[in-house]
Amino acid sequence: MPLEYARAMPPRQETLATRPAFRSCLQPIKCLYQPQTEKSSTLEIVSMPVAGKRGSRRRAAVTAVLCVAVISSGCATIPYRYGHDIESARTLPLKPGEPQVEVGKPNRIVDTIGWILGIPSKIILLNSHVDNHAISTQTIAALITYLRKNDLHNVKVRINQYEPRAEWSRLMRNKAVAFGWRFTIGLLSMLRYTILPGRLFGGDNYNPFTNTINIYSDLACIALHEGGHAKDFAPRRFKGTYAVLYVLPFFALYPEARATRDALGYIRAENCLADGRQAYQILYPAYATYAGGSMSTYVFPYWWVYFAAVIPGHALGRWKASTLRDSDFPGCRTNAPSANPLPVKTPPQETKPPEPDMTPDASASPRRHDFHGQPPVGHVSSNPMKISETNSIPRM
């Protein structure tokens, strides 16, 4: 095909061939069709006018759908591989007597503000339990069991808790991460934790610089996903380098995929059908947010690309959940509660005194009652936890 018409185009008009991304994509084709003669050592690329904004958006949407469909498929790890002695000798240990799991003290004002600030996350994942700052005992128990079965005995877990002083101490003592990374990127992560606390702004996460899991959502699958990050970092020798690689374009998709596969595989091995369906409906679109964020940052600088990736994530997750059967969860009826649960530190609860027993004690001796059958004033019944305050009726 003649190429002379390409030179007649306006020099300043934006063309598809002038885009660096397009030229890099055509580099293999250029090598294949490069002439072998000495007279011509380059290949001219036909310049075609770029389609309008509608065409660019259409290509971006198609790319988002394809990326999410390809990357998200086959996420569950089957059969599931439990971790055995995966924590290295340099892993930051818990202090003697320190509980592994701590639960923040409820605060109605702070938790309400946090619930409101978490509305965008609730809308994106279509679940009101995301960043609701009210974590149930079932979610805590699920994470405790996961850590015990994967030999993660030194991972600190904070349930809706804000403890900057303790976290700064863990950053200073964590020898598993190199000094240079701890006091550069780790320092920035702790500044963010201190200035923008998750107790208000939400965002379940695992911090490798302090080896801490922070949970603000009442969803077991999200808690297990963060546990998957802790399991992914535990055996690695260069934890700081692996954490810093998150800043590279699209690299975050790799560790997020590993944590998602681990959480889904664990749920299919240990939980039941209802938990598995919820996990697919939450973790697939959650993973799609990372794919959409990377594409909107490095490929298509449009805000709607982020949501264009989340929508197929929801569709794919719900389709995958609909294909699950009870036979896919062999551990649903075989697992019993842990006999040795991990220690959990909970805020002190206000205890109310026992209510007095207003009924007479029929087991007491008749000689200690008057003719009306009621005990005298201040009589203590046979049950030490119940004190009768009923007054006796005087004799007439």
- Residue 207 Cα distances to 86, 168, 342, angstroms: 18, 12, 20
Return left, alpha or beta for 187; rule: phi > 0 is left, psi -120 to 50 is alpha, else beta.
Answer: alpha
Q: Which one, of 223, 204, 219, 202, lies nearest residue 113 by Cα?
A: 202
CA distance 194 to 196: 6
Of residues 262 and 297, the one with the higher pLDDT is 262
Quick check: 108 and 174 in contact, CB under 8 A? no
Task: List 156's β-bridge partners, or say none.
Answer: 212
The strand pair at 156-159 and 205-207 is best described as unpaired
**Other residues' Cβ atoms within 10 Å of the Cβ of residue 82:** 15
pLDDT of the residue at 168: 97
Between 355 and 103, the higher pLDDT residue: 103
- Quote the mean pLDDT of the chain: 77
Confidence label for 127 from pLDDT (cuts 50, 70 and 90): very high
pLDDT at residue 13 greater than cutoff 60: no
The candidate with the shortest Cα–Cα distance to 73, out of 288, 355, 346, 304, is 288
pTM: 0.70
Taking residues 129-138, what's their average pLDDT? Answer: 96
Q: CB–CB of 282/219 below 8 Å?
A: yes
User: What band does 58 get if pLDDT is binned at 50, 70 and 90?
Assistant: low
CA distance 257 to 244: 17
In sequence order, the 6+-apart residues with CB closer than 8 A to the CB of 31 are: none
Residue 283: band (very low, low, confident or very high) from pLDDT cuts 50, 70, 90: very high
The DSSP code sequence of 191-208 is HHHHHS-HHHH---EEET
Return the pLDDT at 301: 83
Distance CA(111)–CA(200), nearest Å, equals 7
Positive or negative torsion for Cα 57, 63, 69, 72 = negative
Q: What does the chain come to in residues?
A: 396
Give the pairing type, strands 156-159 and 344-345.
unpaired
Question: pLDDT tens digits, residue range 183-238?
Answer: 999 999 999 999 999 999 999 999 999 999 999 999 999 999 999 999 999 999 99
Mean pLDDT is lowest, of 75-89, 216-230, 321-335, for 321-335
